């Protein structure tokens, strides 16, 4: 019994069908609890009530990056081990990751307006998220453009690989290009910089909620993709016969 058994579409459908309701329930619970709890926290002495957008902003930003990481791993699994479900999981994760990036960008703009007095600042973090969003768009567009599913999986996998290197490079290039206004990491490990536990615990719950939400959406989309591929495969077989 190994994890690779779930690369079989039928097994994947069966196993994911069992865990999916639990993940959806967990995602709903954690997101609602995290966001409501976050909303009920006291105002920050410096940032006032605006700080509460952090419970939306930080988890979305976190998942935006993690979604790309997951796509990278899934692409590598496809390119090396040729597991078809893996390629479809990478395809399924892209729009979810793109939306997470968009949420992080929009909430960042809404937060930035009262804090920095501007909707948009060419700050390194904001800029690298914009670049990440462009990478997501390119990746999704390439999947859509290629008809043959095997070629599409291979080519998008290659793009994801090369894109990861350049997204990483852009992150540092952008840092070099403009030192920004953005505060340091919200959950820095260095003592003293840490945010108060009043905010930290609801943020953890919210992050878990976003993670489960991402997982649920990716599973649902992967299952849809598998069924769509199965439909196409049966049609192709029919045409051939």
6 SS3 class: helix
Report d(CA 185, CA 191) in Å as an integer: 12
Which letter does DSSP use for residue 44 in this model? B
b/e map of 31-62 (b: 16 or more CB within 10 Å)? beebbebbeebeebeeeeebbbbbbbbbbbbb
Which residue in 29, 73, 142, 181 binds other proteins (CB under 8 A)?
142
Distance in Å, CB of 126 to other proteins, minimum: 14
Closer to other proteins by Cβ: residue 19 or 236: 236
Interface region with other proteins, contact rule CB under 8 A, candidates 18-26, 28-36, 203-211, 223-231? 223-231
* Helices 54-81 and 197-240, packing angle to 10 deg: 40
CB 50 within 8 A of CB 111: yes
Closer to other proteins by Cβ: residue 78 or 199: 78
Q: Would you give the binding string for other proteins spanning residues 102-131, x where CB under 8 A is met?
A: -----------------------------x
What is each CA distance from 111 to 48, 93, 106, 163, 173, in whole angstroms? Answer: 11, 27, 9, 29, 25
Which residue in 167, 208, 213, 215 binds other proteins (CB under 8 A)?
167
Interface region with other proteins, contact rule CB under 8 A, candidates 29-37, 47-55, 102-110, 225-233? 225-233
Report d(CA 167, CA 174) in Å as an integer: 10
Closer to other proteins by Cβ: residue 4 or 39: 4
Is residue 80 within the footprint of other proteins (CB under 8 A)?
no
Which letter does DSSP use for residue 108 in this model? H
Match 């959406």 to its residue by tokens.
Answer: 217
CB 124 within 8 A of CB 179: yes
Interface region with other proteins, contact rule CB under 8 A, candidates 59-67, 92-100, 204-212, 229-237? 229-237
In this structure, what token pair is assigned to residue 175?
């840092």
Distance in Å, CB of 80 to other proteins, minimum: 12
Which residue in 170, 208, 216, 217 binds other proteins (CB under 8 A)?
170
Report d(CA 102, CA 106) in Å as an integer: 6
Size of the site for other proteins (CB under 8 A): 42
Interface region with other proteins, contact rule CB under 8 A, candidates 30-38, 96-104, 154-162, 193-201? 154-162
Closer to other proteins by Cβ: residue 142 or 195: 142
Q: Which residues bind other proteins (CB under 8 A)?
A: 9, 84, 131, 134-135, 137-138, 141-142, 145-146, 148-151, 153-155, 158-159, 161-163, 166-167, 169-170, 172-174, 176-177, 226, 229-230, 232-234, 236-237, 240-241
């Amino acid at each position: 019994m190994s994890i690779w058994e779930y690369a079989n579409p039928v097994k994947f459908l069966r196993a994911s069908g069992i865990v999916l309701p639990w993940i959806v329930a967990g995602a709903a619970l954690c997101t609602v609890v995290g966001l409501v709890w976050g909303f009920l926290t006291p105002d920050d002495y410096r940032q006032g009530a605006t700080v509460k957008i952090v419970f939306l902003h930080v988890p979305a930003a976190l998942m935006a990056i993690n979604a790309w990481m997951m796509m990278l791993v899934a692409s590598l699994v496809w390119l090396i081990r040729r597991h078809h479900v893996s390629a479809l999981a990478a395809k399924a994760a892209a729009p979810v990751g793109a939306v997470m990036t968009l949420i992080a960008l929009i909430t960042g703009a809404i937060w930035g307006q009262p804090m920095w007095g501007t909707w948009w600042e060419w700050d390194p973090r904001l800029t690298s998220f914009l670049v990440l969003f462009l990478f997501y768009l390119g990746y999704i567009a390439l999947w859509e453009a290629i008809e043959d599913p095997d070629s599409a999986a291979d080519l998008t996998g290659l793009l994801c690989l090369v894109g990861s290197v350049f997204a990483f490079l852009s992150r540092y290039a952008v840092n070099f290009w403009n030192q920004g206004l953005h505060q340091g990491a919200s959950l820095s490990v260095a003592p003293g910089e840490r945010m108060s536990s009043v905010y930290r615990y609801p943020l953890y719950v919210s992050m878990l909620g976003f993670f489960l939400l991402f997982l649920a959406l990716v599973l649902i989309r992967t299952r849809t993709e598998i069924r769509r591929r199965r439909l196409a495969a049966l049609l192709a077989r029919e045409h051939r016969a």
